[in-house]
Chain A
Amino acid sequence: MDIQQKIGYDFIGNRKITFVISLVIIVLGVGSILINGGLNFGIEFVGGTLVEVRFTEIPEVNDVRDAIDDAGFKEAVIQRLGNGEVVMIRVQQESESASAVGEDEGGQITKALEAVFGANSFVINRVWQVGPQVGSELRRSAQLALLFAIVGLVLYISWRFESKFALPVAIIAVITIGLSSWNVAISLIIMLALIAVSVACIVFDYHFAFAAIIALIHDVTITVGVFSLTDREITLPVVAALLAIIGYSLNDTIVIFDRIRENIRLMGRKLPEQVLNVSIRQTLSRTILTSLTTLIVVLVLLFAGGHVINSFAFALFIGVLTGTYSSIFIATPLLFEWNNRSKGGIFRKV
C-alpha cells in the first residue's frame, strides 16, 4: 500500500482555500471566546467546588437541581454523565476576596442531596474544593507552563532551522523569562514575545522558523477556540494536552521542512511550488500514518477513557487533527507566500 503516489492534489496552488478555512475556524473560535466574555475555566483556575456523586438509580435532573437550589446554590452547574447515574455539581466561588474554600460547600451539597434522595441512594465519587488563592496560583503556573513551552519550542525551532537565528531568539527568551518573574500578565508576555520573534523572523528573513511558529499559534488558537465553541471547560489537564499538542504538531512540520530543505538541494532548478508539493507528497504517507495511529488511541481515550479525562482527550483529538492539517496546509504554503514576497526568494539561501 502506498498513499503518496496516488495523490495529485496541488497543496500549494490551492493554498487560498485552506487559508480561508483556517481563518474561518479561527474567527469563529475567537468570536465565540469574545461573545462568551472569555474562556470557560475549570474550578482549579477560578476557585469553587465540584461534587460528583454516583446514584444507585438514575435520578431526575430537576430533583437534583431543586435539592441544590434549596441548599442555596442558585448558580450551580449540574451535569449528568455516563448513563445518567453519575451527576456532577459545580459551584463557583462567590467571593473573590476569600482565600480559603467556601464554608464546607462540599458537605452542604452532600447534605442537601441526602435530604432529598436519602443517604443510601448515592455515593460520593469525589469532592473538589479550590480556594480562589490556589486558583489564581494554578492559573499563573498554567500560563507560565504555556509560556515556557512556547519559548522552549521556538528556541528549538530557530536553532534547528537557522542556527544564526538562535541568538536573537535566545535574547528574546531571556527577556521573556525575566519579565515572567515580575508581576506582568503572562498572556501579555506571550503575545509580546511572539510578536518580537515574528518581527525578528521578518527582519532577518527566517522563513522556516516563522512558518513553524505561525503553525504553532494556529494549532493552539484553533484548539482553544473549539473548546469555546463546544462550551467545554479549560481545565488543568486540558492545558497539559495543549502543551503536548504544541510539541507533537511541531513534529510534522519539522519532518516536512526537513524534506523541503533536502529537496531544494536535490532539485534546485524546479519551481518552488513543485519542490514544496513534492516534499509534502513524499512525507504525506508518514504524516497521515503517524497521525492516524495517534488519533486511534486518542479516540479510544475519548470514548472509553472515562469522563474524568474526557476534555483532556478531546483537546488531544482536536490538537492532533489541526497539528497534522496545519503542517501540510498552512506551514508549507506559508513558505511559498513568503517566497513570493521576499526579494531573494526563500530557495536562494538554503
Chain B
Amino acid sequence: MLKGDLKWKIPLIIVCVLFCAWYLAVNSINLGLDLQGGLHLVLKVETDTVIVNELVQVKDYLSREFKKQRIPFDAMSVEADGILKITAASAEELQKISEYVAEEFPRFEKKGILGSGTVLNLSMKAKEVESWKETAIQQALRTIRNRIDEFGVSEPMIQRQGKSRIIVELPGVKDLQRAIDLLGKTAELRFQLVKDIAATQEELLKRHDGKVPSGYTILLSAPDANSSGRQGAYLVEKEARVTGADLQDARVSKDELNMPAVSFEFNHDGARTFGKLTEENIGTPLAIVLDGTVQSAPTIQSRITSRGQITGNFTSEEATDLAIVLRAGALPAPVKILENISVGPSLGEDSIAAGKNAIMLGGLFVIIFMLLYYKVSGLIADLALLFNFLFIMGVLAYFRATLTLPGLAGIALTVGMAVDANVLIYERIKEELRKGKTLRSAVEKGFSRAHLTILDANLTTLIAAIVLFQFGTGPVKGFAVTLSIGIFSTLFTALILSKVIFDLVLQSGTVKRLSI
C-alpha cells in the first residue's frame, strides 16, 4: 500500500508522464525559422502615398472642373504632409474656390488661408485620412495573402503589426530572394497611350522644347540586358486608360519568339474600356507599364477586347511571378522592407544538429558528474533529469510552442540548472546526516529545508524569463519559453518526483545507508 502523500504523488506523476508522452506522440513540435529555414519579413505599407495619390487625383479633377465652370485660379499643387495648395489672383476668387471645394469635397478641410487671402491650403480630414490608410492596409494584407497563396507556402503567417506594418513569415521557403521580390512588388499595371518614343530622356525632351507637355509624363523601359542596359524613353499620357484592377486573370504563356510571357484577360468592364481604347487608337503604341516601368509598347493593330499579352525579357520564373502578382492584385501603396531575416535550409539543419548535440553532450556530462559525485543519490537525480527532459518536450508539444536555436540552448541550460535543486537537497541531507540524524529524518529534513531555497532560485530566473518573453522577439522568445517551462518542470521533478523515489527506496525499510 502507498503511504501518506505517495497516495496522490505517484498517480500525479503517472498522469504527467502519460500526458507528456501522449502530446509528444500526437503533436509535433514546431521549429522556428532559424531551425527550419525560411523567410521573416517586416513590411511597411507606405500609406502616405495613398493619400498623396488621392490628392493628385483631386487636383486633376479640380483643375478640369475649374476650367469647365470658368472659375479662375492661378496654381494648384500637392505639397508635402498631404496639403493641396490652391493659389488665386485675389481674395474674392479664392473665396469662390473655397466655397466650391467645401460643397464638392466635404471630406476636405481648410488648413488655413495665407498670403493675404490668396492661398488656400486644403487637407483631408484626419478621420478620412485614417480610414483611407486603414483601407489601404486591409487591401495590402489581402493582396499579400493572395500572393502567398498563389506562390504556395505551407503554413504562412501574415500578421498586422501596429498601424502600417505587416509581418510575413514563410517557414521552409527555399527560394528566399524570389519570395522577397514577389512580396515587395507593388504590381501596379497600367496601360498608357504613347505620344513619342526616343532612345533617351534627353532626346525626348529636346524634341518637345525641353519640357514635358502637360497631361503627359516620361517613363523609361526596363534596362535591356541584351543591349548593354539601354533604356528607351517614352512620352506617355499621364492618365492610364485601363489598369490592372480591371484584370480577371493572368497566366504564363509564350510569345511569338517562344519566350516566356504573361497573358491576361480583362473583366467585363475592363474589356469594354480596352475595346474602345484600342478601336479609337489603331496605329498608336500603347505602353504596358508595371510599377512605373514600361514593359513593352506594342502598336495597336486592331480592336482588342478581353485578351492581351505582356512581353519582355522574362525568365520563366519571372513570368510565373508576374502572373501571380497580377492575379493577386496590386498593392494599394508601395511597401518597404524594414527587416528581412532569410535563413537557408542548410544552416537550419546545422543548427538543429548543433543544438541536439549540445543538449545530449551537456546532459551526458551532467549525468556522469552527478553519478560520480552522489553515487546512488546521483542516479536518482539523473532519473529526475530524464523525466524533466520528457516533461519539457511534452509541454512544448502540448502548447505547440515554437522551438528555436536559443530555445534549444534554453533546454540545455535547464539541464545544467535542474540538478541545482537536487544538489541543494542533497547537501542539506548530508548536513543532517553529519549531525547524526537517521537517514529517514535526514531526507525529510533535507527536502523540507531546501524547499524555500529551491523556490527562490527558480523564481529569480523565472522573473528574468517572463521579462524576456514580454520583450523578446522570435528566437529569443523561444529561449524564454523553454527556460520558463524548464523552471516549472524542474520544480516538479525536484520537489515531487525525486522525493517520491527517495520515499519508495526508504519505505521498504531495508535500506539503512544511502550513498550521497
Minimum CB–CB distance for B375 against chain A, Å: 10
Q: 1/0 per residue A53-76: CB within 8 Å of B?
A: 010000000000000000000000
* Any A CB within 8 A of the CB of B376: no
Task: Indicate whether A134 sits within 8 Å of B339 (C-beta atoms), given known contacts A142-B471, A244-B413, A294-B420.
Answer: yes
B390-412 contacts to A, CB under 8 A, are 405-406, 409, 412
Sampled A-B contacts (5; CB under 8 Å): A100-B338, A141-B471, A300-B362, A301-B362, A301-B412
Pick from B357, B417, B431: contact of A290, CB under 8 Å: B417
Minimum CB–CB distance for A83 against chain B, Å: 13
Task: Indicate whether A126 sits within 8 Å of B362 (C-beta atoms), given known contacts A153-B460, A306-B354.
Answer: no
Q: At the interface with chain A, which of B116-124, B279-287, B310-318, B462-470?
A: B462-470
* Any B CB within 8 A of the CB of A230: no
Chain A residues contacting B363 (CB-CB under 8 Å) are 297
> In the complex the two chains form, what is the Cα distance from A133 to B405 in whole Å?
25
Chain B residues contacting A239 (CB-CB under 8 Å) are 476
Pick from B344, B427, B463: contact of A247, CB under 8 Å: B463
B412 touches A297 (CB 8 A): yes
Pick from A100, A130, A148, A305: contact of B336, CB under 8 Å: A100
> Which one of B347, B350, B459 has the greatest number of beta carbons of chain A within 10 Å?
B347
Q: 1/0 per residue A120-131: CB within 8 Å of B?
A: 000111111111
Q: Tally B residues with Cβ within 8 Å of A.
A: 68
* Any A CB within 8 A of the CB of B365: yes
Q: At the interface with chain B, which of A20-28, A201-209, A271-279, A308-316?
A: A308-316
> Which one of A52, A100, A300 has the greatest number of beta carbons of chain B within 10 Å?
A300
Chain B residues contacting A101 (CB-CB under 8 Å) are 337-340
Minimum CB–CB distance for B220 against chain A, Å: 18
Q: At the interface with chain A, which of B144-152, B257-265, B325-333, B450-458?
A: B450-458
A240 touches B338 (CB 8 A): no
Q: 1/0 per residue B413-447: CB within 8 Å of A?
A: 10111011001100100110000000000000000
A131 touches B176 (CB 8 A): no
Chain A residues contacting B464 (CB-CB under 8 Å) are 149, 152-153, 243-244, 246-248
A268-294 contacts to B, CB under 8 A, are 282-283, 285-286, 289-290, 292-294
Q: 1/0 per residue B37-59: CB within 8 Å of A?
A: 00000101000000000000000
Interface on chain A toward B: helix, strand, loop, or mixed SS?
helix
Minimum CB–CB distance for A135 against chain B, Å: 9
Q: Which residue numbers of A lie inside 8 Å of B, CB to CB?
A: 1-2, 52, 54, 99-101, 106-107, 110, 123-131, 133-134, 138, 141-142, 144-145, 148-149, 152-153, 156, 160, 236-237, 239-240, 243-244, 246-248, 250-251, 254-255, 258, 282-283, 285-286, 289-290, 292-298, 300-301, 304-306, 308-309, 312-313, 316
Minimum CB–CB distance for A306 against chain B, Å: 3
B337 touches A131 (CB 8 A): yes
Interface on chain B toward A: helix, strand, loop, or mixed SS?
helix
Task: Indicate whether A124 sits within 8 Å of B457 (C-beta atoms), given known contacts A305-B409, A309-B409.
Answer: no
* Any A CB within 8 A of the CB of B177: yes
* Any A CB within 8 A of the CB of B171: no
A293 touches B423 (CB 8 A): yes
* Any A CB within 8 A of the CB of B370: yes
> In the complex the two chains form, what is the Cα distance from A294 to B457 in whole Å?
14
Not counting A290-B423, A308-B354, a sample of 19 additional A-B residue pairs whose C-beta atoms are within 8 angstroms of each other reads A100-B338, A106-B340, A125-B343, A125-B347, A126-B343, A127-B340, A129-B337, A130-B339, A131-B336, A131-B339, A152-B463, A247-B462, A248-B417, A255-B457, A293-B423, A297-B362, A297-B363, A305-B354, A308-B405
> In the complex the two chains form, what is the Cα distance from A153 to B412 in whole Å?
24
Pick from B358, B370, B420, B465: contact of A304, CB under 8 Å: B358
Task: Indicate whether A312 sits within 8 Å of B337 (C-beta atoms), given known contacts A145-B471, A237-B479.
Answer: no
Instruction: Across the interface, name the chain B residue whose C-beta is closest to A258.
Output: B453
Chain B residues contacting A141 (CB-CB under 8 Å) are 471, 473
> In the complex the two chains form, what is the Cα distance from A237 to B417 in whole Å?
19
Chain A residues contacting B452 (CB-CB under 8 Å) are 258
9 residue pairs, one from A and one from B, having the closest CB atoms: A297-B416, A247-B464, A306-B354, A145-B471, A100-B336, A297-B362, A247-B461, A125-B347, A251-B457
> In the complex the two chains form, what is the Cα distance from A312 to B407 in whole Å?
12
> In the complex the two chains form, what is the Cα distance from A15 to B453 in whole Å?
26
A286 touches B463 (CB 8 A): no
Instruction: Across the interface, name the chain A residue whose C-beta is closest to B457.
Output: A251
B42 touches A134 (CB 8 A): yes
> In the complex the two chains form, what is the Cα distance from A112 to B337 in whole Å?
22
B342 touches A106 (CB 8 A): yes
Task: Indicate whether A306 sits within 8 Å of B479 (C-beta atoms), given known contacts A54-B346, A246-B464, A297-B366.
Answer: no
Chain A residues contacting B102 (CB-CB under 8 Å) are none
> In the complex the two chains form, what is the Cα distance from A298 to B42 in whole Å?
33
Chain A residues contacting B457 (CB-CB under 8 Å) are 251, 254-255
B341 touches A286 (CB 8 A): no
Instruction: Across the interface, name the chain B residue whose C-beta is closest to A128.
Output: B341
Instruction: Across the interface, name the chain A residue whose C-beta is closest to B347.
Output: A125
B460 touches A128 (CB 8 A): no
Instruction: Across the interface, name the chain A residue whose C-beta is closest to B456.
Output: A254
Pick from B337, B347, B417, B479: contact of A100, CB under 8 Å: B337
Instruction: Across the interface, name the chain B residue whose C-beta is closest to A135.
Output: B339
> In the complex the two chains form, what is the Cα distance from A236 to B42 in whole Å?
17
Instruction: Across the interface, name the chain A residue whose C-beta is closest to B354.
Output: A306
A145 touches B473 (CB 8 A): no
Chain A residues contacting B354 (CB-CB under 8 Å) are 304-306, 308-309
> In the complex the two chains form, what is the Cα distance from A146 to B430 in whole Å?
38
